[in-house]
Every structure is written in C-alpha cells, then in structure tokens.
Amino acid sequence: MLDIKNAVAVITGGGGGIGLEVAKYWVRNGGKVVIADISQDLLDQAEAELKSIGGDVLAVVTNVTKEEDNSRLADAAIEKFGQINLVAPFAGIIRDGLMVSPDRETGKVTRKMSIADFQIVVDINLSGVFLTVRECTERMINHDCHGLICLISSTGSLGTAGQINYSATKAAMSVMPKVLTAEFFRRKLAHKIRCVAVAPGYVGTAMVKGMNQKALDGILSQVPIGRLIEPEEVAQLVADIYRNEALAGEVFFIHGGLRLGSKG
Ligand SMILES: NC(=O)c1ccc[n+]([C@@H]2O[C@H](COP(=O)([O-])OP(=O)(O)OC[C@H]3O[C@@H](n4cnc5c(N)ncnc54)[C@H](O)[C@@H]3O)[C@@H](O)[C@H]2O)c1
C-alpha cells in the first residue's frame, strides 16, 4: 500500500480539468505536485488555487510535444522535490470530425478530416505522452523512486464516430501499460514502478460542459447512471490505483455503465 503523503505527482494538463482535479486531490492528501501545462494563464490560476489549499506546488510551462520541455519538467521535479512518485500525463486535446463527410443530398464527399487535425491530436495525446513518460521514468529509475505511471485513455479507445484521431491515440493508451509493465518486469523494476491507464467516459470538465445542450442530452441518454462523471471521481480512481500496489498493466474504465453502440 503506497501513501500519498509526501509523494510527488507530475501532472501534465495540470492547468485545468481532470489534471487539476488530480493535483487538488493529491495536495489534500498531503502530496506534493508539479503541474505542467502549455497555458501560462491556466497554470498561474491552478498554482494559486493549489497554494490556497496548502499545496507544495511547482508549476512548469510545458509543451508536451517538445522533447526538451519534457526533459526540463522531469529535471525540475527532481530538483525541487528529489523524487517522482506519480506521473499523470493528462494533457490532451480533441479535434473531432468524420474522416470523410458525404453531403446529405448529393452523397458526394464535401469535407475530409485534414492531416493537420489528425496529426496535432497524435502529437499531443500520443507522442506527448510518450515523451513525458519516458523522461519521468528515466528520472524515477535513476533516483530509485517508487510509484505509478497513470495514463489516461477514454471510452473513445473503443471507437467513437467522429474521433478517428482521438480514438486512435486513446487506444494506444490502453496498450502502453502492458508494454511498460513487461519492460519493467524484464528489468526487475515492476515491483517499484507500475503503469496503468484510467479510461473515463464523459467527464464534466469545461470541454464536455461546453457542448451544446442537444449533444449533451444525447450523450446523457446513453449513460446508465444518468449523469456525467465528476472530475473528482477520476482523481479518486487514480489515487486508489496509486495506493493499491497489486494493480499494474491494466486499463480501468470509469464511465457510469456507458457502452458504445454500432454507431459509435
Ligand atoms: N473530459 C472527458 O470527458 C474526458 C474523457 C476521457 C478522457 N479524457 C482525457 O483526460 C485528459 C484531460 O482532459 P480534460 O477534459 O481535463 O481536458 P482540459 O481541456 O480541461 O485539459 C487539458 C489540458 O491540457 C493542456 N494542454 C493542451 N495541449 C497541451 C500541450 N501541447 N502541452 C501541455 N499541455 C497541453 C490544456 O491547456 C488543458 O489545460 C485528456 O487527455 C483527455 O483526453 C477526458
């Protein structure tokens, strides 16, 4: 059983949404946090909020797509706190659209998802996660740290229409814990560093609450518990997995019973 007290969490996307909620949970339970985000404004607000609840916080402006930013982030965490115990690479974006959109009247394709919209999602949600995890794991091993790498997948990993870019990156998050757990096992590290993913359904962050009411109602009609998942509930799941050292290499869904139908 791991204790959050004095444990150090590195959280990308920590300026808002689920990342900030994990940071708040961590601080409330006596942990220390390094929050990273591309937005200086969001980071400033998040840092102030975390300090107001007594948090020991370091904020590092980071673009997760840049190798040097991730390296700087991991170094800053070690320099300030001497260890890394939780890595939560939660920075992520959506750029939704059908891959090809045929016109409803003519049946001919009038719009296609651009390579830019595909690539930016891959760059942030997949390559960015790889870089954050690689740099933090290197420091965790070299500084003999004990802890968890907790990726964030999604029910989108099962295949959501209109999200070929996002779904592909979130599917990758469900295989990476298996790869890394096997690699840690080979090097006799698996008892010290675990890797998992949490996979939320629709979480009530600004991104989801900002959808138009019709779309939101459509989503909620598919969720058996009849409401969005609260960001605190995802934070609680991350913390429960952190504490429970029997959990490794797996994906943990938190979706209120949601199942995707044949129309995704
Ligand atoms: N909200 C949901 O319903 C939901 C469901 C499943 C999974 N997720 C995942 O949870 C994670 C957080 O989502 P959220 O809803 O809190 O979104 P959010 O938009 O509130 O937070 C994402 C944060 O990432 C930051 N960010 C974006 N690009 C970045 C970059 N290049 N470098 C560093 N930071 C960057 C943003 O500034 C933002 O603060 C994402 O990976 C998302 O895919 C969300």
Residues composing the chain: 264
Neighbours of 190 (CB within 10 A): 17
Q: Is 130 contained in some domain?
A: yes
Q: Is 149 helix (H, G, I), strand (E, B) or coil?
A: strand
Q: How many domains are there within the chain?
A: 1
Structure tokens at 115: 């390579």
Question: Does residue 62 line the site of ligand 1, with CB under 6 A?
Answer: yes
Q: Is 223 contained in some domain?
A: no
The structure's pTM equals: 0.98
Question: Does residue 23 line the site of ligand 1, with CB under 6 A?
Answer: no
Residue among 241, 67, 205 nearest 138 (CA): 67
pLDDT for the residue 51 = 98
Sign of CA dihedral 37, 33, 206, 121: positive
SS3 assignment for 68-118: HHHHHHHHHHHHHHCCCCEEEECCCCCCCECCEEECCCCCCEEEECCHHHH
- What's 103's domain CATH number? 3.40.50.720
Q: Is 146 contained in some domain?
A: yes
264 residues of the chain, pLDDT tens digit each: 999 999 999 999 999 999 999 999 999 999 999 999 999 999 999 999 999 999 999 999 999 999 999 999 999 999 999 999 999 999 999 999 999 999 999 999 999 999 999 999 999 999 999 999 999 999 999 999 999 999 999 999 999 999 999 999 999 999 999 999 999 999 999 999 999 999 999 999 987 887 788 888 988 999 999 999 999 999 999 999 999 999 999 999 999 999 988 988
In the annotation, is 242 catalytic?
A: no
Q: Is 215 contained in some domain?
A: no
Ligand 1 midpoint to CA 122 (Å) = 13
Q: Is 133 contained in some domain?
A: yes
Ligand 1 midpoint to CA 21 (Å) = 12
Q: Is 67 contained in some domain?
A: yes
Sign of CA dihedral 113, 116, 118, 120: negative
Cα dist from 46 to 23, 90, 172, whole Å? 9, 15, 29
CA separation for the pair 132, 65 (Å, rounded): 9
CA separation for the pair 14, 96 (Å, rounded): 22
Q: Is 116 contained in some domain?
A: yes
DSSP 257: T
Range of the domain at 57: 8-202+231-254
Q: Is 214 contained in some domain?
A: no
Structure tokens at 194: 């675990």
Question: Does residue 17 line the site of ligand 1, with CB under 6 A?
Answer: yes
